[in-house]
Structure 1
Amino acid sequence: MSRLPFYLLVSVLMLAGIGLTLHRHLQFDVPWLPGEQRQVWEIEAQVNLTARGEPVIVDMALPSHQQGYRLLTEHTASSGYGLAFREENGGRRAQWTIREASGSQQLYYTVQMLVAPDAEAPAQALPALPRQILWERPYDTAARQVIERAWARSASPFTFARELIRDMSGDRQSENTRLLLTQYDRAPLLVRLLNQADIAAREVSGLRLEDGRRRQSLAPWIQVFDGNDWALFHPETGEQGRPDDLLLWESAGEAVLEVQGGSNSRVSFSMLTHNQPAASAVRSQLADDTLLNFSIHSLPLEEQALFQTILLIPIGALVVVLLRILVGIKTSGTFMPVLIALAFIQTSLSTGLIGFLLVVSVGLVIRSYLSHLNLLLVARVSAVIITVIAIISIFSVLSYRFGLNAGLTITFFPMIILAWTIERMSILWEEEGPKQVLIQGGGSLLTAVLAYLAMNNPWIRHITFNFLGLQLVLMALILLAGNYTGYRLLELRRFKPVAED
């Protein structure tokens, strides 16, 4: 029979698991290692205005995902106001509304931005050029001469913008530029001149991030387009490029703040930075699951804690498969060591080993007596279950009386599995002797300890919880191991005399 479908299935599982894992790391910045820290900026915008006793509408631009930053959380404080978030002209805006207000009003908006150096800027729509730009005399002549002077010393839209800004600064200022600056603000003037030269450009607003700053204001920047590419220019210095500490608050070329029904409106910004674990820093990004971002972070915390343990079971299953199929270790029950390893996680390894050996040893003694009663299987196993419960209860009470609180965790052992383990070992003792009991019991304990070490590793706990695509990789590895039909390592001892000869 052809093995091609089998290998195709394994390849699909492996590629899908690796692809989903890489997607979550690259797209959502989920860290590979536990304990990694991320820098987060918390920025508060305070809007102040004076209401005139009539309906008030406050419309403010909001930041979004951009180059170097990802939006984590945002919330507002606006007592009595209605609030709506909306998308408009490629930008995000918040709109506060109230039927009637008078006097001084304060509105607050707080956002957390994650510093993500690998975050890419979203695609920017090319702004439409105005059909006609009108200048009053004599500003039309001055504008034309300023454009001609910068055009002659440039070779592209970006170099033209740089030369235009330099002509408005320092010693290079001419009579024409000084005349234009008496009538127009610098940033809107630059946009008008660029548009007249058939270069798409717009004014955007950015915030320079500095820890502990208060009552800061936005600064204008010029965004110049060259086909599909764009660049930022400082309107005062002509510096090209986006500084690392610049957060674009409004990038659609719209007004930052618009107020109806009020006067003396202004917005100021305060900011703080702090570090927090990377896993919690990106958790809000993982709350909204999609097909490629399937995660359990949207579940309540209680269920998340439960799944954090459940997702470790495939790791234990892989350890059992490798030890039984490739090494040849014998265990009492196929996946009993995995359940024992889960109990070790709750009890600690030393306490778990001592508790397991005590319960099984006493259980075997009592089971040997039950064998003389000639009970049916169901009744005998039920009696063993009750015996295991009694043993665990007695050990818990005694450990508490002697001040050994660690002994109370023995209750985490799976009682049904322990009962069946005692039953199987008792039958094995009667049929094949104590040697096989020691071999299989020791193999079970060794497998459980190795599974515990793998499942309790902080890195493994981190990646299994945060990268569900790894479950597909584990499935592929288990399928590959299940296809092995060669010799086991422990079976090679039979060939030792041949090797010696």
Structure 2
Amino acid sequence: MSRLPFYLIVVLLLVIGIGMSLHRHVQFEVPWTPGEQRQVWEIEAQVNFIADGGPVKVEMALPSTQQGFRLQDEHTASPGYGLSFIEENGTRRALWTKRDATGSQQLYYSARMQVTPRAQAAPVPPPSPDDDTVWERPYDTAASQVIERAWARSADAFTFTRELIRDFSDERQGENARLLLTQFDRVPLLVRLLNQAGVAARAVSGLELEHGRRRQTLTPWIQVYDGDDSAIFNPRTGTKGRPDNLLLWERAGQSVLEVQGGTNSGVTFSMLSRTQPAEALVRERVTESSGTLLNFSIHSLPLEEQALFQTILLIPIGALVVVLLRVLVGIKTSGTFMPVLIALAFIQTTLATGLIGFLLVVAVGLVIRNYLSYLNLLLVARVTAVIITVIAIISLFSVLSYRMGLNAGLTITFFPMIILSWTIERMSILWEEEGPKEVLIQGGGSLVTAVLAYLAMNNPWIRHITFNFLGVQLILMALILMLGNYTGYRLLELRRFKPVTED
């Protein structure tokens, strides 16, 4: 019979599982390791103005997700004001309105921006350069000469911008540049000259992030387009590129703040840098995108179900350990997957407490089960009696440990009582049929398997991977299918060939 369909299924499971895991890591930035931290900037903008005593409209530019920063959440504080958010052409603005306002007014806006290299900005249409810029005399001649001088030393739009800005620096400033600066502000002047030269450019406003700073203002920068490429330039030095700590607050070349019905308006910024666990930020993103088709995430469930699945998703790890030990090593266990359930109990009780409790319950249960064998009971009645006995033993040990001040003993109640009862029943029958040696072999194998499964299931990295990447379950399925296809010798069987090696 062809094994091709089997191998196709295994490969398909591996590809789908790895693909789902990579999608979670790339799309939602779920970290591969637990405990990773992300830098988050908390920024507060305070708008101040004096209201004239009538209707008031306040419009302010808002930040958005952009290269290097992702908008995590935002809040406003504006008692008595109506508020709406306006989104157009990749830009965002807030509009506060009030029918009647008098005197000093304060409006607050706060945002949390996560630092992430994978964030991308929504596209903003480039401006159309105005070649027909009209200048008054003698500024028209000065502007033309400045443009000609920079154009001759450049090769493209970006190098032209760099040379033009440097011509207005203190070191290279000529008479034409000084004349223009007496009449125009630097940034609007540079943008006007760039547009006259046929270079698409606009002035943008950025906030330089620095931990603990208060009452900061936005600084102007110049964004230049060359075909499909764009770059940010420092209007004071001509340096190309956006600094890592620069958050572009306004990206469309519009005004940052517009106030109608008030005077003496202004906006200042305060900022703090914090570190937050990456998992908490991922949980927020997953909640926001809960309607996405590919968002197969446990984080979208209620917290109670999340806590339940965090344990359930560990069971395949324990099952893989059992398969490895039984198929490749050849360890015998009492029951196929009883060690997995015991390992789950160890997670709740801690390993030392769980081992002691398990040995005590099984030992006492075997003694009582030995007595029940003389009563010649039917199987169902005998197992039921063992179950009641196990419950009584666990209750007795819990009370005694509490009276002795050993609170760890109370966790023995996490043991699966039905499984313990069947374990005692199986070991008792095995003792009668095979002898105590086989009981020790299978009982010891069960404990060794349970301990190894516990160490694997309780590993922080494994708990993180299984809970955050559901594709891992498909990878585990593929590995178990491949192990199920193994028909070779087990490690413990190789000792049969020891006499051959001695000869």
TM-score (norm 2): 0.93
Distance 1:106 1:303, change over 3 A: farther
Deviation at 1:179, TM superposition (A): 3.3
The CA deviation string for residues 387-439 of structure 1, in whole angstroms up to 9 with x for no partner, is: 21111110000011111111011011111211222222222223323222222
- Secondary structure of the equivalent of 2:300? coil
In structure 2, the partner of 1:135 is 134
Does residue 240 (structure 1) correspond to residue 243 (structure 2)? The answer is: no
Q: Summarize the Cα distance change of 1:130–1:238 in structure 2 as closer, same or farther, 3 Å threshold.
A: closer
Cα pair 1:133 1:192 within 8 Å, conserved: no
Distance in 1 of aligned mates of 2:97 and 2:394: 64
Alpha-carbon distance between aligned partners in 2 of 1:95 and 1:294, rounded to the nearest angstrom: 37
Specify the code of the residue in structure 1 equivalent to 2:268.
S
CA distance in 2, matches of 1:347, 1:292: 37
- Aligned-partner Cα distance in 1 for 2:499–2:461: 43
1:192 aligns to 2:198 (yes or no): no
Shift in alpha-carbon separation, 1:339–1:86, aligned structure 2, 3 A? farther
Relative distance call for 1:318 and 1:86 in structure 2 (3 A) is farther
Pairwise CA distance, 1:451: 0.4
Shift of 1:74: 2.3
Contact 1:66 1:119 in 2 (8 A): no
Q: 1:387 to 1:57 in 2, by over 3 A?
A: farther
User: Do the aligned partners of 2:90 and 2:122 also contact (CA within 8 Å) in 1?
Assistant: no
Which of 417, 422, 428 matches 2:419? 417
1:449 corresponds in structure 2 to 451
Q: Sort the Cα spacing of 1:372 and 1:57 in 2 relative to 1 into closer, same or farther, 3 A.
A: farther
Q: Alpha-carbon deviations, 1:356-404, whole Å to 9, x = none?
A: 1111111222222333333333333222222211111100000111111
Supply the distance in 2 between the matched residues of 1:374 and 1:98 (Cα, whole angstroms).
Answer: 89
Give the Cα separation in 1 of the matches to 2:59 and 2:143: 33
Q: CA deviation at 1:171?
A: 4.1
Within a 5 Å distance, the mapping from 1:155-304 to structure 2 comes to 155-287=155-287, 288-289=289-290, 290-304=292-306
CA distance in 1, matches of 2:488, 2:56: 79
The 2-side partners of 1:330 and 1:98 are apart by 78
Output one character per residue of 1:248-271: Cα deviation in whole Å (capped at 9) or x when no partner.
112222222233333322111011
**Counterpart position of 1:369:** 371
- Given that 1:126 and 1:200 are in contact with CA atoms closer than 8 Å, whether structure 2 keeps it comes out as no
Corresponding letter in the other structure for 1:109: Y
Cα distance per residue 1:457-478 (max 9 Å; x no partner): 1221222222222222212111
Percent of paired sites with the same residue: 77
Distance 1:301 1:54, change over 3 A: farther
Asked if the contact 2:133–2:196 (Cα under 8 Å) also holds between the matched residues in 1, the reply is: no
Write the distance in 1 (CA, Å) between the matches of 2:407 and 2:305: 27
Name the counterpart of 1:71.
71
Deviation at 1:101, TM superposition (A): 3.0
Any gaps of 5 or more consecutive residues in structure 2? none
Q: Shift of the alpha carbon at 1:63?
A: 2.0
AA aligned to 1:381 is V
Q: Contact conserved, 1:73 with 1:284, CA < 8 A, in 2?
A: no
- Deviation readout 1:14-72 (Å, 9 max, x if unpaired): 12222332333344433332233332222111112233344433332222232222333
SS in 1 for 2:299: coil
Query: Structure 1 stretches of 5 or more lacking a match?
Result: none
Contact 1:355 1:410 in 2 (8 A): yes
**2:404 corresponds to 1:405:** no
C-alpha distance in structure 2 between counterparts of 1:146 and 1:124, whole Å? 32
Counterpart Cα distance in 1 of 2:473 and 2:86: 38
Residue 463 of structure 2: aligned partner: 461
For residues 412 and 255 of structure 1, do their structure 2 counterparts lie closer, same or farther at Cα, with a shift above 3 Å needed? Answer: same
Residue aligning to 1:84: 84
- Whether the 8 Å CA contact 1:126–1:225 is kept in 2: the answer is no
- Taking structure 1 as reference, are residues 417 and 162 closer, same or farther at Cα in structure 2, changes over 3 Å only? same
Moved more, 133-142 or 38-47: 133-142
1:111 matched residue in structure 2 = 111
> Relative to structure 1, is the Cα distance of residues 27 and 310 closer, same or farther in structure 2, using a 3 angstrom cutoff?
same
| 8 Å Cα contact 1:222-1:234 kept in structure 2 | yes
TM-score (norm 1): 0.93
CA distance in 1, matches of 2:226, 2:468: 40
Q: Which amino acid aligns with 1:137?
A: E
Displacement, 1:215? 0.2
Structure-1 separation of matches of 2:13 and 2:64 = 35
Contact 1:72 1:112 in 2 (8 A): yes
- Higher alpha-carbon deviation: 272-281 or 381-390: 272-281
**Contact 2:82-2:98 at 8 Å conserved across structures:** yes
Match runs of 1:374-385 below 5 Å:
374-385=376-387
Could you say if the C-alpha distance between residues 82 and 475 of structure 1 is closer, same or farther in structure 2, counting changes exceeding 3 Å? Answer: farther
Q: Which residue of structure 1 lines up, in the alignment, with residue 24 of structure 2?
A: 24
Distance 1:335 1:85 in 2: 57
- Is contact 1:204-1:250 (8 Å) kept? yes
CA distance in 2, matches of 1:51, 1:300: 46
2:323: which partner in 1? 321
Change (3 A) 1:208 1:387: same
2-structure distance, mates of 1:433, 1:231: 81
Cα offsets for 1:293-313 (capped at 9, x unmatched): 432223333333322222211
Match of 2:352 in 1: 350
In 2: Cα distance, 1:372 partner to 1:193 partner: 105
